[in-house]
Amino acid sequence: MSAMSRVVLLQLLVQSAAGALLSPSTRACRTSRLAMSAVVPETESVAVVLLAGGSGSRMKADKPKQFLELQGRPVLDHSLQLLLGVQRLEALVLVINEDYRDLDFIQAAVAADARIKFADPGSERQDSVSNGLAQVPEGCTLVAVHDAARPLVTLDEVHRCLCDGAEHGAAVLGVPMKATVKESEDGQFVARTLQRSKLWEIQTPQVVRPQLLRDGFKKVQEESWEVTDDVSIVELMGKPVKLTLGEYENFKLTTPEDMVIAEQILDARK
């Protein structure tokens, strides 16, 4: 077995064993929730901001990772087509460099669905989200921000996060941490071991009431806040963010090995 094959096999085993690493109560919650199909309230109007402006340098490819092929389709196309099926969807804002908007699969999607709009990427993630938010129609009551580099998210996960966002004002998909995490003050020695039961790995989509997010971006500019994700803005404003239990399969494509794992997961879903 080659070194690459061993890496892939190991990562697949980690993914498949994820459920066994959860506590019994968390496993029960996960089974119970995933057994139901979430329904977004009829009173809500949804917009999706799909971020596809990254360079993906760690993928070591000749093009941004969102345009690499995954089962014969661009990575971005997987998220794009899935999110167009979101309940109560009024608009999908694709944040993408203008140079890529003429790609055949994007033009075909735009021709088939008038709900698709475009926005320019910014220098930082928060700038891209802000640009996308500016294109969200005023009548939308929920906005879901998703990374194109997470093509394995399911509609049920998205809908459950939207339902939690509708109830609490903001929600984010996440999964309990599996690894032991240690904190270091100087990058040389361990300062403390963090309590794993309290730690969550955050994913996308992240769902927020549009006006709450607009108010947050205003504060970001006024206070010069540095934020790493969308719900961090909500946290800094002192507002609650609901954790929506997701799936470990909804990981971010970062390295070439991730592409192989994603192919295997999609094959298994078939």
CA distances from 133 to 67, 220, 260 (A): 23, 14, 33
Q: Which residues contact 51 (CB under 8 A, 6 or more apart)?
A: 95, 121, 125, 128, 129, 132, 145, 146, 147, 148
For residue 258, being part of any structural domain is answered with yes
- Write out the chain's pLDDT in tens, 270 residues: 444 444 444 444 444 444 443 433 333 334 344 445 899 999 999 999 999 987 666 676 778 999 999 999 999 999 999 999 999 999 999 999 999 999 999 999 999 999 999 999 998 898 999 999 999 999 999 999 999 999 999 999 999 999 999 999 999 999 999 999 999 999 999 999 999 999 999 999 999 999 999 999 998 888 888 788 899 999 999 999 999 999 999 999 999 999 999 999 999 998
For residue 61, being part of any structural domain is answered with yes
Domain that holds residue 138: 41-264
The pTM score is 0.85
Q: Give the CATH number of the domain where residue 46 resides.
A: 3.90.550.10
For residue 8, being part of any structural domain is answered with no
